Amino acid sequence: MNDSAQTPQRPARTGPLRHVRVLDLSRIMAGPWASQILADLGADVIKIERPGAGDDTRGWGPPFLAAADGEQHGDAGYFLCVNRGKRSVTVDISTPNGQDIIRALARTSDILLENYKVGALARYGLAYEDLKQENPSLIYASITGFGQTGPRAGQAAYDFMIQAMGGLMSVTGEADANPGGGPQKVGVPIVDLMTGMYATVAILAALANRDATGQGEFIDLAMLDVQAAMLANQAMNYLISGREPRRNGNSHPNIQPQNVYPCRNGFIAVAVGNDGQFRKFAEQLGIPELGTDARFGRNADRIRNLPALNEIIVERLASNDMHHWVSRFDDVGVPASPINAVPEVFAEPQVQHREMLQQIEHPLAGRVPQVVSPMRFENSPLQFDTPPPLLSQHTAEVLNELGLDAGAIASLREQHVI
């Protein structure tokens, strides 16, 4: 914890970041995803929200969390998936008193996370250049659609738009000539999520550097940059071949057979990863000779002769049920799975064993389900006991920690600052 000012008392936490405080001025998804990861890791995350309104995603429903009395309704599922473990404080940052509160919190924080438009916080004296005067060791992470520089720097962006602009939709979906062909978005806001992940990595790197040097940092993270980086093998395929990647449904561009195939009673996803697995796959199909066939023995040959290979695979898999094939492939270590719907994911014994779905006590609903962090620590275990906060739930608590008494807090409420 930065010690440039007196450190307010904070809740006892576990996890490797239990000594860290985050001032979270972000909303929607990318920034809150990052701050929820930090909260899961033990950080004290203070979420700043607009008085009376809060984060936009509180209203992005239905569905909404039903209150225990069945009459009231809580926050939208969208908000609930990304704000676990935080404390909600409402502050109108357009007011001088509100700006003073943010400065006071910045003095006692290790990290500030925000996703305002470029230049917006500078108008309130809350830009990095302003706040590093208050706290030179502050790590200030800014998430925008296009970054702090460039011809689009001032423009707003959302995940769906960046999936399109950044090339992801050009390689997602069925080929144009097939039924249902055309560009498709990914089924979750993947650019937001990956931007949050990159933000977390950058913040942790800056923390490590600060431990070594004492120096704070400004992190400039752009959603379009993230999506360009996420093109991964598709980008490199193009850059070294000059051939534009195309949508090809579920078929992998570089490794085969990796596709979704019909069985007698459903579909199976097969993910053969190397030539040895292919030979085992062929044996389980009852066609071991495929493994030594000159057309299919090596992955590069399978790619070149994929239509012929797929014809053989489709014919054989259609002869039996999905779970028959999954069981056979499991027995020999060939990755394969049924296409689970979301309810089936949480019914999967492995997911249940790993306790990925937990219930947390909630002040209105009794309990709220949470899909928790996949990170597991032996020596600094994570705890999931703080639900997504009600709007302004912790305003008085946090302001009291800053030294404001009940009268001062009441005055700020009367002025609609908090």
Does residue 192 carry a catalytic annotation?
Answer: yes
* Residue 242, number of CB atoms within 10 A of its CB: 7
In contact, 139 and 217? CB cutoff 8 Å: yes
Q: Tell me the three state secondary structure of residue 309.
A: helix
Based on C-alpha coordinates, what's the Rg of the chain? 25
CATH of domain 258-338: 3.30.1540.10
Residues 6+ apart with CB under 8 A from 378: none
- Domain spans, the chain: 21-229+356-414, 258-338
345-377 pLDDT per residue, tens: 999 999 999 999 999 999 999 999 999 999 999
How does residue 7 score in pLDDT terms, banded at 50, 70 and 90? Answer: very low
Report domain 21-229+356-414's class.
alpha beta
Question: Which pLDDT value is given to residue 4?
Answer: 35
Out of 24, 40, 192, 225, the active site residue is: 192
Asked whether the beta carbons of 65 and 80 are under 8 A apart, the reply is: yes
Q: Work out the angle between the directed axes of helices 275-285 and 322-332 (0-180°, nearest 10).
A: 130
Q: Whole-angstrom Cα distance, residue 233 to residue 230?
A: 9
Q: Which of 175-179, 254-258, 381-385 has the lowest mean pLDDT?
A: 175-179
What does the alpha-carbon distance between residue 107 and residue 113 come to, in Å, rounded to a whole number?
A: 14
pTM greater than 0.75: yes
The model's pLDDT over 303-340, given as tens digits with 9 standing for 90+, comes to 999 999 999 999 999 999 999 999 999 999 999 999 99
